[in-house]
Amino acid sequence: MKFFVDTADVAAIAELNALGMVDGVTTNPSLIMKSGRDIKEVTKEICEMIYGPVSAETVALDADGMIAEGRELAKIADNITIKVPLTWDGLKACKVLTDEGRMVNVTLCFSANQALLAAKAGATFISPFVGRLDDLNIDGMDLIAEIRQIYDNYGFGTEILVASIRSANHMKEAALIGADVATAPPAVIKSMANHVMTDKGLDAFLKDWAKTGQKIL
């Protein structure tokens, strides 16, 4: 499973990228606002750092506006993925932009039917939001399993990009189901290394080592 980092924080991306933990980056208007930087400037910096896809989101609500904004964002770098919402106009924009050879990430997906439409429109990525479904007491991972089955049934090339990830457990479940990509905040990715038994074991080893009075360096 590929790891995308869901942030516009360049320093956080660089830290994870140095460990080989970054296959791509996703941004959205909220993350751009949080960064406090110009969208084109920060996106360009991220694209120069990361070889993989970098999602930059349109904000127009009509298809023509999304297409125009998408073409403008695509000028930033060759690895830009244009992000459009899963609306009827978003699907229209997806079809036009993918026909032009551009990568498109269709976002804000909350049903298997929506994911099926996005695949038919030629989306490069579909972004189902599992955390927001969990907030409604709906198991977001059930949606990932449904999309995986539908895409496999018909050989769709659209990659399942699990979004709105809130925990390390979400990452594990996405991988078990067979999602192609998971995009998560840096803190969630780093938390995957944590385990109480690892901490306890390390503490015991260090206490025993101190008793030997030895040094390695």
Residues recognised as catalytic: 83
**3-state DSSP assignment of residue 156:** coil
Helix (H) or strand (E) holding 131: helix 130-135
Q: What tokens were used for 192?
A: 């995957």
Residues 109, 66: Cα–Cα separation, whole Å: 17
Residue 173 is classified by DSSP as: H
Do residues 66 and 89 make contact, with C-beta atoms less than 8 angstroms apart? yes
**3-state DSSP assignment of residue 149:** helix
Buried b / exposed e over 143-182, threshold 16 CB at 10 Å, is: bbbbbbeebeeeebebbbbbbbbbebebbebbeebebbbb
| Residue type present at position 74 | A
Do residues 70 and 102 make contact, with C-beta atoms less than 8 angstroms apart? yes
Q: What tokens were used for 186?
A: 């840096």
For 216, counting Cβ atoms within 10 Å of its Cβ (0-12 exposed, 13-18 middle, 19+ buried), the class is exposed
